[in-house]
Chain A
């Protein structure tokens, strides 16, 4: 399957830890990358590879993977973390194609 499945919505209390998950068969073979998108803005890469953060991304963002599930963890969520989060990975075709998850709307309470 080339699909990635995410929970549509997740909420977290300010300052608490939240995990956003992404499931798919291709994740057994390929890393996921994670993007944050706020309303009216382009997506921003927050995690890629095993657990890499681009320059400027706070270290409260981290990534992990087990079996067919990749996770994005925000430790000590801030109000500015409220956004849509998308996972992305290779599909299973081996043809250098990719696929995005459906997205998770994160609400910080």
Chain B
């Protein structure tokens, strides 16, 4: 079964760092781009960025450039999303998703989501 399994919910304080993960299985992890999507409470989906685990080519939406870091470890089929200094406004659900192909820009497999809560 093709799936993406994300790490569990996190509760952090402002200023703390965090790295959440997304592990792929059931397919060739290095052959598909993996994207990250933010959903703030009660709001819509936001396209954050994308990585190709085969060579770690990474692209960021302008809104998220410099705010987060996307990385991948192909040896363990895992992509990551990290923050160096969290803010309360980072409180959201974060999804990873597999992209069908760059030309189609469609995400066919989604992780279950990781809820990040940042509160003092």
Name A residues whose Cβ lies closer than 8 Å to a Cβ of B.
30-31, 33, 35, 37, 42-45, 48-49, 54, 84, 86, 88-90, 95-103
Q: List 15 A–B pairs whose Cβ atoms lie within 8 Å, in order of A's numbering.
A: A31-B104, A31-B105, A42-B110, A43-B97, A45-B106, A45-B110, A48-B108, A49-B106, A88-B107, A96-B50, A97-B59, A100-B44, A101-B44, A102-B44, A103-B45
A interface footprint on B14-50 (CB within 8 Å = 1, 0 otherwise): 0000000000000000000101010000001111001
A49 touches B112 (CB 8 A): no
Is the beta-carbon distance between B110 and A48 smaller than 8 angstroms? no
Is B111 on the interface with A (CB-CB < 8 A)?
yes
Closest to B96 in A: A42
Q: Which residues of B contact A35 (CB under 8 A)?
A: 45, 107
Which residue of chain B is the closest to A100 with respect to CB atoms?
A: B45
Docked CA distance A97–B61 (Å)? 6
Residues of A within 8 A of B110 (CB): 42-45
Quote the shortest CB–CB distance from A24 to chain B (angstroms).
13
Give chain B residues whose Cβ lies under 8 Å from the Cβ of A100: 37, 44-47
Query: Chain A contacts of B112 at CB under 8 A?
Result: 42
Contacts of B45 in A (CB 8 A): 35, 37, 43, 86, 88, 100, 103
A86 to B46, CA, bound (A): 10
- Expressed in whole angstroms, the Cα–Cα distance for A54 and B107 within the complex equals 11
Known: A45-B107, A88-B107. A98 touches B47 (CB 8 A): yes
Residues of B within 8 A of A95 (CB): 59
Known: A43-B45, A97-B61, A100-B44. A48 touches B113 (CB 8 A): no
Residues of B63-119 whose CB lies within 8 A of A: 95, 97, 100, 102, 104-108, 110-113
Q: A33-B105, A43-B110, A98-B105 are in contact. Are A48 and B47 (CB under 8 A)?
A: no
When chains A and B are docked, how far (Å) is the Cα of A30 from the Cα of B33?
18
Let me know if A48 and B106 touch, CB within 8 A.
yes
Give the residue name and chain of the B residue nearest to A93 (CB).
B62
Identify B113's interface contact among A42, A88, A98, CB under 8 A: A42
